[in-house]
Amino acid sequence: MKVQQFSPSVGQQEVFNLLDTLRDNWMTEGKWTARLEAMIRDRCGCSYALMVPNGTLALFAALKVLGIGPGDEVLVPDFTFFGSASAVALTGAKPVLVDVRASDFTMDPGAAERSIGPATRCIMPVHIYGQTCDMAALTKLAQGHDLLMVEDAAQGMGVTCGDRHVGTFGDIGCMSFFADKTITTGEGGVLLVNDQELAERCMYFKNQGRLERGSFVHPQMGYNFRITDMQAAIGVAQFERIDAVIARKREIVDLYREHLAAAPGIEWPADNGLGQTVPFRANILVDHAERLADFLSTKDIQARRFFYPLHRQPSLNADNAVVRETPKQSVRLFERGLSLPSSPDITTEEIRYVCSSITDFLGTAARPDRLTDRSALQCEPTPVS
């Protein structure tokens, strides 16, 4: 593709740090992991940060440490990455799929409350596309119904709700450092915890049932959820320029808005005003989103559709998921949502090219016979009931 949907921004410092781990001949968790965890604690304002292999396993670990398992239900927004639901299913519990708000795509507190059942034990707010959920409403809901809370802040690095960083409101917060996140370790995730006893339980879980390595006495059941110091070394280099990356991500969205200001039919996601947003992607809502994506592909521009609604996922059915109120907004968002190329290193010239191509398409949108619609919603699996 001439303009990729996303590619990570990696420089010489990442290479230097990585070579340091090789020179030290210490590749498992070590000094770089400790340094990265300290940087995350300082940025997020939490007491403990524990690195794990990826964001999905962070969610799984958090749920397991909190005792979620077979017979339990966890409220999950219907509009999110599949890993939010699969982490719940992996514990043996069932995700209860909840609709989102049309304005900011985050979990609808009213829909969440209406979806609570006798087996519901936990709620999983997802700070989707780098914008906070309404944590005041969701925290009140959780407290009122005695629910645990695991925050999915996979896309939330740098995002705040009020003056608090997302991921620090619930019992455990989870982040991802996959290649397309604000900072990356290639693969990686982190557990954010404020309670010391809970943090120790997380350490037992991720470190083979012990608090320290080098001992062959394992007081609790645990697993190997450690990362490598090579990953952490890359993450430290990324973290050292996080403010510049966040500023650039916001600038990219502003440039798209500027160059598409006169383009008809484009709707921009709303800022809910609840905190500081860090755009995960440059997103638009537009009619004929699938056709537009196909058209851009002919121009060597890689765009991506929004998340496919979880209640329509073939692998989520009545045996392993629950829907008490049919989600509607998640379907609308999938039908109309498109993520535009938004790599930190994308150039202004490339953004102009993307925008001119979108404008060209909108001139042909009134003639759908010229384009082919391959929308996945034309072949819907049986919805969860």
Which residues are CB-neighbours of 216 under 8 A, at least 6 positions away?
none
With a cut of 50, say whether residue 362 has pLDDT above it: yes
With a cut of 70, say whether residue 366 has pLDDT above it: no
Angle at 34 (CA atoms; ends 28, 39), nearest 5 degrees: 135
Q: Is the dihedral of CA 355, 360, 364, 370 positive or negative?
A: negative
Element (DSSP H or E) covering residue 14: helix 12-24
Kindly report, residue by residue over 165-199, the tens digit of the pLDDT.
999 999 999 999 999 999 999 999 999 999 999 99
SS3 content of the chain, % helix, strand, coil (to 5): 40, 15, 45
Which residues are CB-neighbours of 203 under 8 A, at least 6 positions away?
50, 211
Contact in structure between 47 and 203 (CB atoms under 8 Å): no
Give the phi and the psi of residue 32 in degrees, each rounded to 5: -70, -35
Average pLDDT, integer, range 317-341: 97
Name the architecture of domain 243-378.
Answer: Alpha-Beta Complex (3.90)
Distance, CA of 350 to CA of 164 (rounded, Å): 35
With a cut of 80, say whether residue 253 has pLDDT above it: yes
Quick one: pLDDT at residue 374?
44
pLDDT interval class at 368 (50, 70, 90): very low
pLDDT interval class at 214 (50, 70, 90): confident
Distance, CA of 183 to CA of 267 (rounded, Å): 28
pTM: predicted TM-score of the whole model, two decimal places: 0.94
Domain 12-239 has CATH 3.40.1190.20: no
Kindly report, residue by residue over 148-163, the tens digit of the pLDDT.
999 999 999 999 999 9
Quick one: pLDDT at residue 1?
63
Kindly report, residue by residue over 70-100, the tens digit of the pLDDT.
999 999 999 999 999 999 999 999 999 999 9
Which residues are CB-neighbours of 218 under 8 A, at least 6 positions away?
208, 209, 210
With a cut of 60, say whether residue 234 has pLDDT above it: yes
With a cut of 80, say whether residue 246 has pLDDT above it: yes
Beta bridge partners of 50: 191
With a cut of 90, say whether residue 372 has pLDDT above it: no
The structural domains of the chain, with segments of one domain joined by +, span 12-239, 243-378
Quick one: pLDDT at residue 352?
97
Q: Please give the sequence-ordered ranges of beta strands (E in DSSP) within the chain, or none if there are none.
A: 48-52, 73-77, 94-98, 120-123, 148-152, 160-161, 164-165, 172-176, 189-193, 282-285, 304-305, 337-340
Which residues are CB-neighbours of 176 under 8 A, at least 6 positions away?
54, 55, 56, 58, 154, 155, 188, 189
With a cut of 60, say whether residue 304 has pLDDT above it: yes
Q: How many CB atoms lie within 10 A of CB 50?
A: 24
User: What does the chain come to in residues?
Assistant: 385
Distance, CA of 135 to CA of 132 (rounded, Å): 8
Kindly report, residue by residue over 22-79, the tens digit of the pLDDT.
999 999 999 999 999 999 999 999 999 999 999 999 999 999 999 999 999 999 999 9
Distance, CA of 152 to CA of 184 (rounded, Å): 17
The chain-wide mean pLDDT, for the chain, equals: 94
Quick one: pLDDT at residue 369?
46
Quick one: pLDDT at residue 384?
61
| Topology match between the domains 12-239 and 243-378 | no
Beta pairing, strands 337-340 & 282-285 = antiparallel
Kindly report, residue by residue over 276-297, the tens digit of the pLDDT.
999 999 999 999 999 999 999 9
Contact in structure between 58 and 286 (CB atoms under 8 Å): no
**To which residue do tokens 């009122």 refer?**
144
With 0-12 CB in 10 A as exposed, 13-18 as middle and 19+ as buried, what is 177? buried
Distance, CA of 162 to CA of 276 (rounded, Å): 8
Share of the chain above pLDDT 70, in %: 94
Quick one: pLDDT at residue 215?
87
Lowest mean pLDDT among 195-209, 229-243, 354-368: 354-368
